[in-house]
Amino acid sequence: MLGEDHSLTKDFPEYQSTITKLNTDNEEFAARAKQYNAIDKEIRVLELQDAPIDDEAMHQLKHDRMALKDWLHQQLADAAN
């Protein structure tokens, strides 16, 4: 779905309190979460504007978002255990 919100709190509602704690206590997590949210927002805006960038650039943005999301999810899972 175009323009879909993939924010951490929306995709991982079960980790809401862990996200808040890591954003406060872990500088690396907070920085990467901020970067993830910025890329996610950029993708949503571009999709809603009919992606005024080439396919390769959009693919790279989505790849970067996925890599960050994987890293962030691993941190959340580790912190929750």
Q: Provide the whole-model pTM.
A: 0.89
Residue with token string 């999810």? 73
Residue 25 to residues 21, 36, 37, 64, 75, Cα–Cα distance (Å): 6, 18, 18, 24, 12
Reported as a single tens digit per residue, the pLDDT across 3-24 is: 788 899 999 999 999 999 999 9
Reported as a single tens digit per residue, the pLDDT across 21-79 is: 999 999 999 999 999 999 999 999 888 887 678 889 999 999 999 999 999 999 999 99
